[in-house]
Amino acid sequence: MSTGWYLCIRLTLWLSGVVIAFLPTLVAASDLPADIFGAVAVINSEGLFRDLFFGVVPAAVLAIATVIDYLCVGRIEMSNSAFALALLGIIGNIFVLSAGLIGFLQIPVHASPLTSGPFIAYSALIYVSLLLSLVTEIGVSWSHNNHRRRLSTR
C-alpha cells in the first residue's frame, strides 16, 4: 500500500475517533459557529467545557497503539533515533491522557463557564494534546509504512 493511502486511512481513523468523542458535546451545545475557537467559547458559555477533554482520549490512545504496533513490528531493524522518537511518542501521549484526565477531574460537573485564565489554559491544553497525538500518529504511521514496504521488497 502506498504511503499516501496508508496515511489517509490512519488520518481518517484519528479524525473519526476525535469527532465521535466530541459529538455528544457538539450536539448538546446550541448555535455553534463554524470556527473552532468560537465553538469552544460557546461550549464554555453553556457549561460544557469539561466534556471537551473526552476528545483527547481516543486521539492519544490511537497514537499510542500505532507506536506500540510500530515497535512490535520493527524494533529489531529500527535505528536508535527512530526507537527514541517512538518512545517519546508514547511518553508524550501518556502525558496527553493524563492531562485529559486531570482536566476532566478539575472542572466540576455542571460548572459555570470558565473565566478567561482557566479557559485559555485548558483550551491550549486540549489543542496541544490533539496536535501532539496527530503529529505522533502521522509521523509514526509514515515511518511504519515505509518500514513495512522496505521489508516486503527484500
pLDDT tens readout for residues 10-22: 899 899 999 999 9
Say if residue 70's pLDDT is above 80: yes
pLDDT bracket for residue 151 (50, 70, 90): low
3-state DSSP of the chain: CCHHHHHHHHHHHHHHHHHHHHHHHHHHCCCCCCCHHHHHHHHHHCCCHHHHHHHHHHHHHHHHHHHHHHHHHHCCCCCHHHHHHHHHHHHHHHHHHHHHHHHHHHCCCCCCCCCHHHHHHHHHHHHHHHHHHHHHHHHHHHHHHHHHHHHHCC
pTM of the full predicted structure? 0.85
Domain locations along the chain: 3-152
Model confidence pLDDT, tens digit, residues 31-52: 888 888 889 999 999 888 888 8
Say if residue 154's pLDDT is above 70: no
Model confidence pLDDT, tens digit, residues 80-135: 888 888 889 999 999 999 988 888 888 887 778 888 898 999 999 999 999 999 99
